[in-house]
């Protein structure tokens, strides 16, 4: 069963233009010029119920605009979308009760009062019974380790505590669809790991569909078997993360440690030397030649340690965006 289906989804924005300087500002008051900017360009995707999908793109690629259309905050210029069986921009109550949009740079928590008060407000908004409210809140508090944060004013919480409370507020009504926009933005490494663990567990427990945007490639690698990549509003790739790696990374990385100094020139016939520290070397080797080149390295040089790694996913995405 499909949770999300879009067909040629497109969004244009009208952007005002003016000449520089004071005189340009004055002229624009009487003769305003506009140009059309296409933020999302004919994006067609299908996401099944229960999938956890990464949504990747550079700044300005159209990710947040797409999420806002899927949540009904924006109406597209053209194209169609069906989300949880509804047209999102019609904003039917039955649809709005079944999804949540969490944006790392936005908050629904009231700054001056404890998060628990927002939770109680959401209970009323979503019409949760006392029994369901207590059950759902108890599960979220345990999973997100919020026991010591519920009665503290939001402005007194750390960024990590606020982000976890934000997730609890968004998930109190057990939505079938979760749209996450940069959920680990600004968090330290430990807190990022906790948020990732929670997202994975929520997906597993509730069979919820999750569409996640992030510039943190660790989020994507750890959580998302499938990724969608867009650039300048256009769909570039939609498929398994592993296939993205094999399709766009034509080499692997060999890292070697030697027991005596080895010159980079002596290693050049084995691959592209991208790092040379005398006792250490990093080589880029064609994917199909890795085994043979590693064997030659072990036979011909004083190797004490050797590892073979895939190209980091953020490097792969960067290559796609720069058309390399």
pLDDT, tens digit, 9 for 90 and up, residues 134-152: 999 998 998 888 888 888 9
Q: Convert the pLDDT of each residue in 58-101 to its tens digit.
A: 778 899 999 999 999 999 999 999 999 999 999 999 999 999 99
Which residues of the chain register pLDDT less than 70?
104-105, 314, 321-324
Structure confidence at residue 239 (pLDDT): 92
Structure confidence at residue 324 (pLDDT): 54
SS (H, E, C) the chain: CEEEEEEEEEEEEEEEECCCHHHHHHHHHHCCEEEEEEEEEEECCEEECCCEEEEECCCCCCHHHHHHHHHCCCCCCEEEEEECCECHHHCCHHHHCCEEEEECCCCCCCCCCEHHHHHHHHHHHCCCCHHHHHHHHHHHHHHHCCCCCCCCEHHHCCHHHHHHHHHHHHHCCCCCEEEEECCCCCCCHHHHHHHHHHHHHHHHHHCCEEEEECCCHHHHHHHCCEEEEEECCEEEEEEEHHHHHHHHCCEEEEEEEECCCCCHHHHHHHCEEEEECCCEEEEEEEHHHHHHHHHHHHHHCCEEEEEEECCCHHHHHHHHHCCC
Structure confidence at residue 321 (pLDDT): 67
The pTM score is 0.79
The CATH fold assigned to 250-321 is Alpha-Beta Plaits (3.30.70)
Structure confidence at residue 160 (pLDDT): 83
């Amino acid at each position: 069963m499909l949770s999300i289906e879009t067909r040629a989804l497109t969004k244009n924005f009208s952007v005002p233009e003016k000449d520089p300087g004071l005189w340009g500002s004055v002229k624009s008051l009487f003769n305003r010029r506009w140009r059309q900017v296409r933020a999302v360009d004919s994006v067609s995707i299908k996401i099944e119920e229960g999938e956890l999908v990464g949504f990747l793109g550079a700044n300005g690629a159209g990710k947040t605009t797409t999420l806002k259309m899927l949540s009904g905050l924006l109406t597209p210029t053209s194209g169609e979308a069906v989300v949880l069986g509804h047209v999102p921009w019609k904003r039917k109550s039955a649809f709005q009760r079944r999804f949540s949009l969490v944006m790392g740079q936005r908050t629904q928590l009231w700054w001056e009062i404890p998060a628990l008060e927002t939770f109680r407000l959401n209970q009323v908004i979503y019409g949760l019974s006392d029994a369901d409210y207590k059950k759902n809140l108890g599960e979220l508090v345990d999973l997100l380790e919020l026991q010591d944060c519920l009665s503290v004013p939001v402005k007194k919480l750390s960024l990590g505590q606020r982000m976890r409370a934000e997730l609890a507020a968004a998930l109190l009504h057990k939505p079938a669809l979760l749209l996450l926009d940069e959920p680990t933005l600004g968090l330290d490494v430990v807190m990022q790991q906790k948020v990732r663990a929670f997202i994975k567990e929520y997906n597993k427990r509730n069979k919820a569909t999750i569409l996640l945007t992030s510039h943190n490639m660790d989020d994507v690698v750890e959580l998302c078997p499938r990724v969608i990549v867009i650039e300048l509003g256009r769909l570039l790739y939609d498929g398994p993360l592993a296939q993205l790696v094999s399709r766009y990374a034509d080499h692997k990385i060999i890292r070697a440690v030697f027991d005596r100094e080895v010159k980079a020139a002596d290693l050049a016939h084995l691959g592209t030397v991208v790092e040379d520290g005398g006792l250490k070397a990093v080589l880029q080797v064609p994917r199909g030649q890795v085994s043979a080149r590693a064997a030659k390295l072990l036979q011909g040089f004083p190797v004490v340690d050797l590892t073979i790694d895939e190209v980091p996913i953020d490097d792969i995405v960067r290559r796609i965006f720069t058309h390399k």
